Amino acid sequence: MRTPGLPFSNVTRRAGLLAGVAITAAVMLAPFAQAQEVKKGGTLTVAVETDVRGFDTVKGGVLGQTGEIVLRSMQEPLLGFNKETNQPEPLLATEWSSNEDGTVWTFKLREGVKYHDGSEFDAEDVAAHYNRILDPEMKSASRSFIASIDKVVAVDKYTVEFHLKHVWMALLPYLATTSMSGPIPAKEAVEADTQNRHPIGTGPFRFVEWASGDRIVVERNPDYWNADEINLDKIVFRILPDTQTRYASLQSGEVDVIWTDRGPTIVEAEKNDNLVTLTTEGAGAAVNLLNGRKEPLSNPLLRKALAHAWNQDALVKISWQNTRPAVTHPLGQAKDCGEANYRHFDIAKAKEFVAEYLKETGKSEVPPIVMIHTTTPRGRELGEIYQQTAKAAGINLTLEPVDQSTLVARTFKGDFDITGWRIADGADMGPQLYAYVTEGSSYNLTGFNNPELDALAKKMRVAPTMEERLDMQCEMVGMMNDDGSILYRGGGRYYAFTTKRVKGVPPPYRGAVDVTRAWIDG
């Protein structure tokens, strides 16, 4: 079995991987070699927007961009991923191959890797991590994304097998993700129930302190398997919810790196000659979710009315200030799905659907609808824009600001009418689309129950080629857009900013800033 661009015989696989690593390393290191010598030591301070819910794969639920930024410093996934070649690379696994039909994948693990607690990383840790996510009793939020995996078996100390229910082309990208399902914790820490607040991983930095709402501190791991690549002594992740405070702190030198998606800050920072702009184009999208599981949004006419009452272009202009693109689908540059049945802002059409809804239900007015949003400036602007456009269509929205943790918890419980959310970026968006639309999925947050869409999602999941897989993803998006349950509010374009003394920070791939290989000049 062979995936385009991925040779699977062991000999060919090793040669291809080593060549890829050599090229990547040369590209990454050349600028440093030509410019100046990398310096060791020092503390880097990174300003992030929100606190983290937790680092345990099950108890933490979802990471969000802040959690992913922090967790990358402490834990590692099985594979790396090269965004330039769109191919996986060795990390905790050094080589891999599949059987002929692509349903059993064998991974050889890196030997001699230690966890922060001194225990040795081995196949039992990998198997325990993934089998825990796959166990229905655990109710992991990540389970739906990797449900194509049947089981993970530790063959021997340094060999692990992934047994799939069917051919699944997203396996390697998902073993490289740094969102909640990818980074592999120490089995002992999970069993001791300490992982959520005191994460133990194989990463370049180890946990020191977590002062909720203020900071998370990590220090250099002296036993890291790739220690020569690590330059900093310590990283302090400052939790600064206010965007202007983050930006002012960067300007003053109080912090060295900031993540932000606020349009005004981005526009201002890009003009600042004292700062370095890091940006990437990606997939995924910020979205509004409409809860079709309960009244009144269980009625498709009302969802379609609200879809046409949503003005993505206005939000992109007002809130993002055109720093993110308006989109009709979340596939990014992987595939152009065209309009994909996208319901554009059209108050006249929204009013038509409202009239149909009132006629069908016999109501004299649309029942009250509540939108929850974060207490951030971005969340407030989102709510206010939607409230105004919905009102123009004859729909009254009540806004309820909540903190990030509350919003996530309520969304997963289905305790919302409309909520702000994010379809995370990914090298392959298929697992996310599948999780968002299939019945029984923990991520079917809006209540899709369309048998035709469900069947298409299952067909997409087992597609034997990437071309067929992407074509079916576009078909899925078209049906999702027609339903009106998921409304886009800007596609995947990501920004981070550093001071000029900070070196070695790559653009924020998938929206998360990776500061693990950073160093400080002066």
C-alpha distances (whole Å) from 172 to each of 1, 74, 96, 156 are: 14, 21, 10, 21
Pull the structure tokens for residue 412: 């997963």
pLDDT given at position 85: 84
pLDDT given at position 36: 67
Distance CA 25, CA 417 (A): 48
Distance CA 267, CA 262 (A): 9
Q: Where in the chain is the domain with CATH 3.10.105.10?
A: 283-492
One digit per residue, the tens of pLDDT, for the chain of length 522 reads 333 333 333 333 333 333 333 333 333 333 433 456 899 999 999 999 888 889 999 988 777 788 899 999 999 999 999 888 888 999 999 999 999 999 999 999 999 999 999 999 999 999 999 999 999 999 898 888 899 999 999 999 999 999 999 999 999 999 999 888 899 999 999 999 999 999 999 999 999 999 999 999 999 999 999 999 999 999 999 999 888 999 999 999 999 999 988 899 999 999 999 999 999 999 999 999 999 999 999 999 999 999 999 999 999 999 899 999 999 999 998 899 999 999 999 999 999 999 999 999 999 999 999 999 999 888 999 999 999 999 999 999 999 999 988 999 999 999 999 999 999 888 899 999 999 999 988 899 999 999 999 999 999 999 989 999 999 999 999 999 999 999 999 999 999 999 999 999 999 988 889 999 999 997
How many CB atoms within 10 Å of residue 456?
A: 21
Q: Show Cβ contacts of residue 33 under 8 Å, excluding neighbours closer than 6 positions.
A: none
Per-residue pLDDT tens digits for 45-81: 999 988 888 999 998 877 778 889 999 999 999 999 9
Per-residue pLDDT tens digits for 286-326: 999 999 999 999 999 999 999 999 999 999 999 899 999 99
pLDDT given at position 205: 98
Per residue, the 3-state secondary structure of 141-210, as one string, reads: CCHHHHCCEEEEEEEECCEEEEEECCCCCCHHHHHCCCCCCCCCCCHHHHHCCCCCCCCCCCCCEEEEEE
Angle CA 477–481–486, to nearest 5: 100
pLDDT given at position 218: 98
Distance CA 106, CA 340 (A): 38
pLDDT given at position 53: 87
Average pLDDT along the chain: 90
Q: Show Cβ contacts of residue 50 under 8 Å, excluding neighbours closer than 6 positions.
A: 64, 66, 239, 241, 404
Q: Where in the chain is the domain with CATH 3.40.190.10?
A: 43-280+495-520
Q: Show Cβ contacts of residue 455 under 8 Å, excluding neighbours closer than 6 positions.
A: none
Distance CA 342, CA 268 (A): 32
- DSSP letter (8 states) at residue 56: S
Beta bridge partner(s), residue 497: 258, 277
pLDDT given at position 8: 32
Backbone angles phi, psi at 160, to 5 degrees: -135, 140
pLDDT given at position 23: 32
pLDDT given at position 389: 97
How many CB atoms within 10 Å of residue 477?
A: 24
| CATH architecture group of domain 43-280+495-520 | 3-Layer(aba) Sandwich (3.40)
Q: What class does CATH assign to 283-492?
A: alpha beta
